[in-house]
């Protein structure tokens, strides 16, 4: 036991474990092409199994992997540059894009609150799910600000991302959406980066607009969550 | 690389500071994102100075999320007790958002095209 403590209880090991599991996950995902075998899911299973086998508490892992976790903040700031790069796709669509994403984010938050209450979920669970369509780093920030369980937020973000990436295009064809801008925008709004990866497979415009949608949805939801909370507290 | 990292971290720091002063209503990273976007549009920041760093960060975003997801270990009980409602809410609201956003955008585009045609006829 003492030996494992010395060997594993340090940042270099935790970082190696995290990146190694992720590389393995990426490899399996690319080889199998099964969307359920997403790199995140695989690395999650690998890391948790490892920690369980060697009886390492979560806190030790969190401490060791803090460096990767920190990168979330700079990654969000970088989305601003991505947004700037995609300005040209905004031409003529500014008003409709802003309307669509803001309505989408508000309804997204409200629907989670309504369904959560119908299911009788604890308020901390509902708060954790409110930012579930937003890219992870922003979602974690929102969830943390309102007393949500960030780990639960992280999990729901991945579920929504995977679901939208796999079934999003099908949903769009069922309701007969043909505009590339509408396709990219909606998949990015509901399924952030995972959706954007899929939208890029459909087309360049879809991918770029989807990337733009990630940032917009992040900002809109950051604003929508306190607004919806205020309405619930003061009006209902 | 150093210049790009400096700029990104500076914006993150400014964002975090503003977030602190407005009572953490909006995450500091989001404020930083908006500020750098505005600075790029106003040509305060040169996009070429930051591009190498931002490309690395945005292309590899998925892995940054892994440590947070391991936190599921801590809240495993609460998740397994509510797994059905959690999954149901995630899936149904995801479909809802896709439909609403796509519908509004598609309708707006059709409306605009219609107007353009009408204007041409006049």
State how far Cα B87 lies from the chain centre.
22
Instruction: Say what the pLDDT of residue B80 is.
Output: 87
Q: Is pLDDT at A132 greater than 80 in this prediction?
A: yes
- Provide φ and ψ at A131, rounded to 5°: -90, 25
- Min distance B40 CA to chain A CA atoms (Å): 7
Domain finish residue from A52, A70, A88: A70
* Inter-chain CB proximity B100 and A73 less than 8 Å: no
Instruction: Say what the pLDDT of residue B19 is.
Output: 86
Q: Is pLDDT at A160 greater than 70 in this prediction?
A: yes
Count of structural domains within chain A: 2
Q: Are A53 and B7 in contact (CB under 8 A)?
A: no
Do A36 and A66 fall into the same domain? Answer: yes
Residues of chain B with pLDDT under 50: none
Instruction: Say what the pLDDT of residue A165 is.
Output: 83
Q: Which of A62, A137, A182 sits opposite B64 (nearest CB)?
A: A137
Do A61 and A91 fall into the same domain? Answer: no
Q: Is pLDDT at A1 greater than 70 in this prediction?
A: no
Do A124 and A190 fall into the same domain? Answer: yes
Do A64 and A82 fall into the same domain? Answer: no
- Could you tell me which chain A residue has the CA closest to the CA of B36? A80
pLDDT 10s digits, B43-62: 999 999 999 999 898 878 77
- Best mutation target among A50, A56, A73 (most B Cβ atoms within 10 Å) is A73
Closest CA to A140 of A181, A192, A98: A192
Could you give the CA distance from residue A41 to residue A132 in angstroms, rounded to a whole number?
Answer: 16
Do A44 and A145 fall into the same domain? Answer: no
* Inter-chain CB proximity B72 and A189 less than 8 Å: no
pLDDT 10s digits, A172-190: 999 999 999 999 999 999 9
pLDDT 10s digits, A48-81: 999 999 888 888 999 999 999 899 889 888 888 8
Domain finish residue from A70, A99, A128: A70
Do A60 and A98 fall into the same domain? Answer: no
**Structural domain boundaries, residue A51:** 2-70
Do A80 and A191 fall into the same domain? Answer: yes
Instruction: Say what the pLDDT of residue B93 is.
Output: 95
Instruction: Say what the pLDDT of residue A198 is.
Output: 79
Closest CA to B96 of A104, A158, A3: A104
When pLDDT is averaged across residues A28-55 and rounded to a whole number, the result is: 86
pLDDT 10s digits, A197-236: 778 778 777 887 888 888 889 889 989 999 999 988 887 6
User: Sorting pLDDT into bands at 50, 70 and 90, what band is A92?
Assistant: confident
State how far Cα B40 lies from the chain centre.
17
Could you give the CA distance from residue B117 to residue A54 in angstroms, rounded to a whole number?
Answer: 69
Q: Which of A74, A144, A222 sits opposite B30 (nearest CB)?
A: A222
Place of tokens 């920190």: A70
- Min distance A184 CA to chain B CA atoms (Å): 8
Do A10 and A113 fall into the same domain? Answer: no
Do A13 and A42 fall into the same domain? Answer: yes
Instruction: Say what the pLDDT of residue A105 is.
Output: 95
Closest CA to A130 of A117, A118, A142, A119: A142
User: Sorting pLDDT into bands at 50, 70 and 90, what band is A35?
Assistant: low
Closest CA to A17 of A53, A55, A44, A57: A44
Do A53 and A122 fall into the same domain? Answer: no
Closest CA to B92 of A143, A219, A133, A236: A133
Question: What integer best gives the mean pLDDT of chain A?
Answer: 87
């Amino acid at each position: 036991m003492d030996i494992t403590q010395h060997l594993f209880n340090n940042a270099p090991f935790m970082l190696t474990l995290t990146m190694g599991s992720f590389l393995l996950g990426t490899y399996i995902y690319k080889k199998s092409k099964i969307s359920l075998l997403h790199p995140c899911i695989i690395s999650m299973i690998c890391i948790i199994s490892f920690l369980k086998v060697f009886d390492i508490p979560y806190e030790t892992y969190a401490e060791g992997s803090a460096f990767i976790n920190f990168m979330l903040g700079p990654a969000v700031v970088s989305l601003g540059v991505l947004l700037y790069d995609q300005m040209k796709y905004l031409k003529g669509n500014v008003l409709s894009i802003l309307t669509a994403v803001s309505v989408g984010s508000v309804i997204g938050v409200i629907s989670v609150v309504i369904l959560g209450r119908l299911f009788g979920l604890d308020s901390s669970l509902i708060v954790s799910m409110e930012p579930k369509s937003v890219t992870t780093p922003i979602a974690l920030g929102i969830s943390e600000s309102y007393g949500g369980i960030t780990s639960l937020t992280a999990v729901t973000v991945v579920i929504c991302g995977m679901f939208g990436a796999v079934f999003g295009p099908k949903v769009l064809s069922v309701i007969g959406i043909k505009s590339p801008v509408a396709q990219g925008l909606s998949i990015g709004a509901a399924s952030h980066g995972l959706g954007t990866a899929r939208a890029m497979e459909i087309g360049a415009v879809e991918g770029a607009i989807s990337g733009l949608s990630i940032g917009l949805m992040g900002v809109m939801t950051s604003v929508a969550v306190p607004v919806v909370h205020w309405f619930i507290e003061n009006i209902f | 690389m150093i210049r790009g990292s400096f700029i990104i971290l500076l914006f993150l720091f400014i964002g975090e500071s503003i977030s602190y002063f407005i009572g953490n209503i909006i995450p500091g990273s989001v404020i930083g994102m908006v500020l750098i976007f505005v600075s790029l549009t106003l040509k305060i920041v040169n996009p070429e100075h930051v591009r190498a760093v931002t490309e690395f960060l945005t292309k590899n975003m998925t892995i940054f999320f892994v440590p947070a997801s391991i936190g599921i270990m801590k809240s495993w009980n609460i998740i397994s007790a509510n797994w059905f409602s959690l999954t149901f809410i995630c899936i149904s609201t995801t479909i809802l958002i896709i439909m609403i956003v796509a519908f509004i955008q598609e309708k707006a585009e059709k409306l605009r095209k219609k107007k353009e045609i009408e204007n041409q006829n006049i």
